[in-house]
Amino acid sequence: MRPGQMLSYDYTVAKLFMFSTILFGIVGMLIGVIIAFQMAYPDLNYIAGEYSTFGRLRPLHTNGVVFGFLLSGIFSTWYYIGQRVLKVSMSESPFLMFIGKLHFWLYMILIAAAVVSLWAGVSTAKEYAELEWPLDIGVVLVWVLWGISIFGLIGIRREKTLYISIWYYIATFLGVAMLYLFNNMEVPTRLISGHGSWLHSVSMYAGSNDALVQWWYGHNAVAFIFTVAIIAQIYYFLPKESGQPIFSYKLSLFSFWGLMFIYLWAGGHHLIYTTVPDWMQTMGSIFSVVLILPSWGSAINILLTMKGEWVQLRENPLIKFMILASTFYMFSTLEGPILSIKSVNALAHYTDWIPGHVHDGALGWIGFMIMAAMYHMTPRFFKREIYSKSIMEAQFWIQTTGIVLYFASMWIAGITQGMMWRATDQYGNLLYSFIDTVVVLIPYYWIRAIGGLLYLIGFFMFAYNIYKSMSAPTISAEPKNASPMGGRLNVEVSNV
Amino acid sequence: MDMQTIRELQAYGFFFFTVFLVLILYGYCYHLYKSEKTGRRNYEKYSNLALDDDPSSNVLEKKQE
């Protein structure tokens, strides 16, 4: 049977996850902006008792953005891309449709429970793995459901070859499954001691081993959620939106295996100058530097896909979002290895340079790619054009300015901080106390908070644009490539 | 065997394992180009999986039923 004769793709689950992407994006980024202002103006810590302190809100921000916004975006694009490149519709399998919906609703319940528990201060105190054991079990269930969706759809596919994006989604699924299970091995304290709360648990690893497993997990969460699943998206959406085939399909395959091979060993760079064995620190450092190769392999492949078609960058804001995303990917994957070099790490570790580095990737690479993906999918979901091209253009520049303010201020703050911490007088005494550095950094914290606020404003513009697109003029047929978009700028172009 | 020796063995083991994986990785690269040169497979055509993904598009390589 030729699929086109009676089928159409079913985007029900993809749409649901798009709404949760927007919802958690707003929540996660709003909390991020609040805590950024708290750094600049500490009295903001006390506006709602224990519930507004930085320590309570920071895990909410990271979990909200990573596991709320980002994962929703990954799931949404999976349920969109998966059907299309495998040439099979979700509507062909009531079972997969049921699993997809169950996946969504269980995920929503889980995230709601995560928000409540983290806000209440229930935490394992392991970064990015703060959820306590009952919620961890829920995470495993949600993940298994996603796995059934992935392999179920692959099982009933018509297209024999799995497109490169599917490879990356599979890697996301398997990578996170392995990392999550090992890092969250924990024992409820009451079970072994007979004391304390049933909710509380302790890690099964002790001391340095716990730190090693934690950062093997922590850094590879960056690898398999922040990187792998976003490459999956750009390898589909950029060629599709621009109508250009990937510059080199072979390079996409080779850099895939390169990334898989190298990324898993890089986590040790979080533990340079700690108690883990020296050779492991060196290994973490070397693998981080080597990691430039597969990262830039993908990024250059993505940029060269636009070869001969750079004019689209001027005409189509969606291409602009994706090309800047890829550029920020190159930028972050150069900055990361530099930070992993032992001598640089001695200066940069524990300073504000690190959150600066994270946000280059999170805001520039991931945020831009996910928003571009949502913009691309919207006309296909609702059979309507995108409401406004001019809002997209304005959003692009407001958010880009926000990112530049963010990372520039954090570079200066981080290097200042590192230099002040290590400065000594001629007798070897430290020149500055800790509070001296804090006072010096306050102007940079203001700049960072304003940068974050600009990005949040841009995100609200994005959410508004998507909302209005649901009632924008309809389109007669699904666009083959460039997404149709309305608004003032388009009218001007058509009048010329 | 004392801990120090075990740690050293771990480090050497890791090094040779890495060399082994590097060889496999570059072997894969060689395999990709060799397959294309001998005409066994054209990898670049798979780019069309993204470009030609309508329900009405032709299936590039049909899955064996």
Per-residue pLDDT, averaged over A177-197, amounts to 92
Closest by CA to A174, choosing from A260, A295, A77, A81, is A260
Across all residues in chain A, what is the average pLDDT?
94
Retrieve residue A398's tokens: 């407001």
Name every chain B residue with its beta carbon within 8 A of the beta carbon of A240.
50-51, 53
Q: Nearest-CA residue of chain B relative to A294? A: B25
Question: What is the model's pTM?
Answer: 0.94
CA distance B64 to chain A (A): 8
Indicate yes or no: CB of A250 within 8 angstroms of CB of B33. Answer: yes
Neighbours of A380 (CB within 10 A): 18
What mean pLDDT comes out for the span A229-239?
Answer: 97
Measured in angstroms, the CA of B59 and the nearest CA of chain A are apart by: 6
3-state helix, strand, coil in chain B (%, to 5): 70, 0, 30
Return the pLDDT at A487. Answer: 66
The closest of A436, A373, A448, A358 to A406, measured between CA atoms, is A448
Separation in Å, CA of B39 to nearest CA in chain A: 14
> Contact B14/A283, CB-based, under 8 Å?
yes
CB contact under 8 A, A249 and B44: yes
Contact (CB, 8 A) for A250 and B36: yes
Stretch A76-97: mean pLDDT, rounded? 96
* Phi/psi of residue A10, nearest 5 degrees: -105, 115
Q: Which residue of B has its CA nearest to A244?
A: B51
Contact A250 B62 (CB under 8 A): no
Question: Could A163 and B21 be called an inter-chain contact, meaning their C-beta atoms sit closer than 8 Å?
Answer: no
Residue A277's pLDDT is 87
pLDDT band at A4 (very low <50, low <70, confident <90, very high): very low
Average pLDDT over residues A374-393: 96
Instruction: Enter the tokens of residue A173.
Output: 């699924």
How far apart are the C-alpha atoms of A402 and A448, rounded to whole Å?
8
CA dist A334 and A243 (Å) reads 29
Q: What residues in chain B have their Cβ under 8 A from chain A's Cβ atoms?
A: 7, 11, 14, 21, 25, 28-29, 32-33, 36, 43-51, 53-64
Share of chain A above pLDDT 70, in %: 97
Question: Residue A494's pLDDT is what?
Answer: 45
Q: Is A485 in a helix, a strand, or coil?
A: strand
User: Is residue A131 within 8 Å of residue A69, measured between CB atoms?
Assistant: no
Which positions in chain B touch A8 (Cβ < 8 Å)?
Answer: 55
Does the distance separating the beta carbons of A257 and B60 come in below 8 Å? no
pLDDT greater than 70 at residue A496: no
A269 marked as binding residue: yes
A21 pLDDT above the threshold of 50: yes
pLDDT in tens, A283-337: 999 999 999 999 999 999 999 999 999 999 999 999 999 999 999 999 999 999 9
Neighbours of B3 (CB within 10 A): 7
d(CA A252, CA A298): 6
Inter-chain contact B28–A254, Cβ cutoff 8 Å? Answer: yes
Q: How far apart, in whole angstroms, are the C-alpha atoms of residue A357 and residue A307?
A: 29
Q: Do B28 and A245 touch (CB under 8 A)?
A: no
How far is the C-alpha of A289 from the C-alpha of A292, rounded, in Å? 6
Q: Which of B21, B48, B60 sits opposite A245 (nearest CB)?
A: B48
> Per-residue confidence at A491, pLDDT binned at 50, 70, 90?
very low
pLDDT digits (tens, 9 = 90+) for A328-378: 999 999 999 999 999 999 999 999 999 999 999 999 999 999 999 999 999
Whether the per-residue pLDDT at A470 is higher than 60: the answer is: yes
First-to-final CA distance of chain A: 46
Q: How many residues does chain B have?
A: 65
**Closest residue by Cα to residue A168 from A103, A241, A85:** A85
Contact call for A250 and B43, based on CB within 8 A: yes
Neighbours of B26 (CB within 10 A): 12
Sequence-distant (≥ 6) Cβ neighbours of residue A21 within 8 angstroms: A69, A72, A73, A76, A370, A374
Q: Give the span between the Cα atoms of A266 and A219, in whole angstroms.
A: 7
pLDDT score at B21: 87
Q: How far is B54 from chain A (nearest CA, A)?
A: 7
Residue A195 known to bind ligand = no
Nearest residue, CB atoms, A158 vs list B25, B33, B63: B63
| Cβ neighbour number for residue A198 with a 10 Å cutoff | 12
Q: A203: which strand partners?
A: A186
pLDDT-based confidence at residue A105 (cuts at 50, 70, 90): very high
pLDDT reported for residue A6: 62
pLDDT (0 to 100) of residue A43: 96
Residue among A2, A163, A279 whose CB faces B49 most closely: A163
- Nearest-CA neighbor of A414 among A348, A339, A343? A348
Residue B4: alpha-carbon gap to chain centroid: 36
Mean pLDDT, range A119-125, rounded to an integer: 94
Interface test with A, best of B36, B43, B63, B64 (most A CBs within 10 A): B63
Q: Within 13 Å, how many C-alpha atoms sit on residue A330's CB side?
A: 13
Element (H, E) at A188: strand A186-188
* Residues of B in Cβ contact (< 8 Å) with A160: 60-64
Chain A / chain B CB contacts < 8 angstroms? 92
Q: Is A61 annotated as a binding residue?
A: yes
Residue spans of alpha helices (H) in A383-433: 389-422
C-alpha dihedral over A15, A19, A24, A27, to 10 degrees? 170
- Which range is most confident: A149-158, A219-228, B13-22? A149-158
- pLDDT, position A5: 55
- Out of A157, A235, A239, closest to residue B63 by CB: A157
Which of helix, strand or coil describes residue A159? Answer: strand
